Amino acid sequence: MRKRYTIEIAKNSQLVVYCPHELLKDKVIKKIAFGSRAIEADFKPHPNKNNSIVISNEVQKKLHFPDFAIKLHVFVEHHVLNIGPLVGIFTAGFTPFPLRPLGDRTNFFSKLLSVKTKVGAIPFVFGEQHINWDKGTINGYFYHDHNWLTIEVPFPHVIYDRLPNRKSERNPKLVKVKEILQKEYLIPWYNPGFFSKLDIYERLQQDHSVTIYLPETHPFTSFSMIENMLSKYGHIYLKPINGSLGLGVHQILYDKIQDEYYCRYQDRDGVNRLRRFSSLEGLFQTVFANRNLDKMIVQQGIHLLRHEQRPIDFRIHTNKDDAGVWHVTALAAKIAGRGSVTTHARSGGEIKTLAEIFQQEECNLHTEKLVNAALLLSNSIANNMEGIIAEIGFDLGIDKHGDVWLFEANSKPGRSIFSHPALKDFDQLTCKLSMAFAVFLTEQSILHPEDVIKW
């Protein structure tokens, strides 16, 4: 059974560790490890302390253990006492400003690192420029007592990927760092990579338990495909395969009675537009004149539930916990701005709780459907995608018949819904479970490393 102990530091020039009797009983411990650093030490029972492990400051120095008095998890395997986990959060976009080392994202990272006491982990943020390859250490950014500190620590037990965008993800330097840490140092890396809409759709199509949630979706190939889907559904969406924030999304509608086409989108100046055309060819020649349609998908239009005549979709966050089990950690409704093709705030969208929109019975029914769908989809994505996935943000819709639809799955979900006052606690919960999963992953990598490598 997993247990946490407070790690205390005592003035002592010897390589000595004092442990509770229960840890030494029936076990021979020869080394103590923190992250990738392990040293031999003399292990002695502590006569008075049952909930603490006391290390000498000589051990602290050799392990590069920061002086944080928090309860950490302890895993004993192969005569090694592992304390941690030490969690590296890998990102890019550092600034030279000590109070805002990550610019506009500093507040998010401070919240993420502040859960360390609740979770029993030591998390830090780093970029490729902070790695000391020769020494096997990292000059990590820590958030402690409301201050940002830089502390040299060993390579971590696990790494949580928080690269900010696809551009940084493709950066050859960062790709190389990830490859070395994963393959040469065998450090488990969770939540790697941004999802592609088409890739997610094609993989989920193989899992019959979730196909009911998938709107018909195809890569763009021809106008005739769009004509066929318009005659079938009345309206369709064209979306960039690798888009985010609702950028580049177009809704095309066909009015059978008037034999006219409409296109709703946001122009380059951020203005919501609705334009009418007498032919599909005319629409494409005008709206998509300078666009590469090969990088677009065509998706079935859904007649969504509405609030005050505006379409609603839902953002659901899911996270794995410290036992590796999925949970829904946040749920909010997003209402489209007037004349907007998406529900994003930048297009005039609003965030509401479900209780603000629906009567209690309806609210409970929709919540249950969305939670069930999100958990099924989370398991399916985790089982069908490469890498270790422990966090997903879903955009789901409910149509007029009460059916749930998946519009998008995000491996690095945005945080805009947490601006709503009623969702502050859920903001904390998503941060907490993001770090709690690191405890599970660390435990698995120490006790069952062969299984983690397969992940």
Return phi, psi of residue 378, to 5°: -60, -45
Q: Of all helices (H) and strands (E), which one includes residue 361?
A: helix 360-384
d(CA 265, CA 248): 8
State the pLDDT at residue 126: 98
Question: Smallest Cα–Cα separation from 68: which of 11, 151, 12?
Answer: 151
Q: What is the pLDDT of residue 162?
A: 96
Contact between residue 283 and residue 250 where contact means Cβ atoms under 8 Å apart: no
At residue 453, the pLDDT reads 66
**Contact of 165 with 247, CB cutoff 8 Å:** no
**CA distances (Å), origin 126, targets 62, 86, 113, 149:** 21, 13, 12, 12
Q: What architecture is domain 86-187? A: 3-Layer(aba) Sandwich (3.40)
CATH class assigned to 197-214+304-442: alpha beta
Q: Do residues 88 and 138 lie in contact, with contact meaning Cβ atoms separated by under 8 Å?
A: yes
The DSSP bridge partners found for residue 307 are 310
- pTM for this entry: 0.92
- What is the rounded distance in angstroms from the CA atom of residue 241 to the CA atom of residue 295? 6
pLDDT per position in the chain (455 positions), as tens? 688 999 999 999 999 999 998 888 888 999 999 999 999 999 999 877 778 999 999 999 999 999 887 899 999 999 999 999 999 999 999 999 999 999 999 999 999 999 999 999 999 999 999 999 999 999 999 999 999 999 999 999 999 999 999 999 999 999 999 999 999 999 999 998 899 888 999 999 999 999 999 999 999 888 888 999 999 999 999 988 876 666 788 999 999 889 899 998 888 777 888 899 999 889 988 888 877 788 888 999 999 999 888 889 999 999 999 999 999 999 999 998 776 666 666 566 789 999 999 999 999 999 999 999 999 999 999 999 999 999 999 999 999 999 999 999 999 998 989 999 999 999 999 999 999 999 999 999 998 887 776 56
Which residues does 372 contact at the CB level (< 8 Å), separation at least 6? none
Q: What are phi and psi of 126, to 5 degrees?
A: -150, 160
Q: How many helices (H) and strands (E) does the chain have?
A: 13, 27
As a residue count, the chain comes to 455
Domain range summary for the chain, segments of one domain joined by +:
3-84, 86-187, 197-214+304-442, 217-300
Nearby residues of 204 by Cβ (< 8 Å), 6 or more positions away: 210, 211, 213, 214, 377, 380, 381, 384, 406
CATH topology of domain 3-84: Barwin-like endoglucanases (2.40.40)
Note whether 141 and 112 are within 8 A (CB): no
- So what's the pLDDT on residue 347? 61
C-beta of residue 287 within 8 angstroms of C-beta of residue 263: yes
Contact 142, 150 (CB under 8 A): yes
**Measured between alpha carbons, how far is 53 from 225 in angstroms, rounded to an integer?**
66
DSSP-derived secondary structure letter, 26: T
Residue pair 140/126 in contact by the 8 Å Cβ criterion:
yes
What pLDDT does 273 receive?
Answer: 86
**C-alpha span between 310 and 92 (Å, rounded):** 37
Q: How far is CA 119 from CA 66, 112, 123, 184, 428, in A?
A: 17, 11, 10, 28, 12
Structure tokens at 71: 């309860």
Q: At what angle do helices 223-233 and 280-287 cross, to 10 degrees?
A: 120
Q: How far apart are CA 265 and CA 192, in angstroms?
A: 31
Closest CA to 188 of 455, 369, 420: 455
Q: Which of 110, 113, 114, 89 is closest to 101 using CA atoms?
A: 110
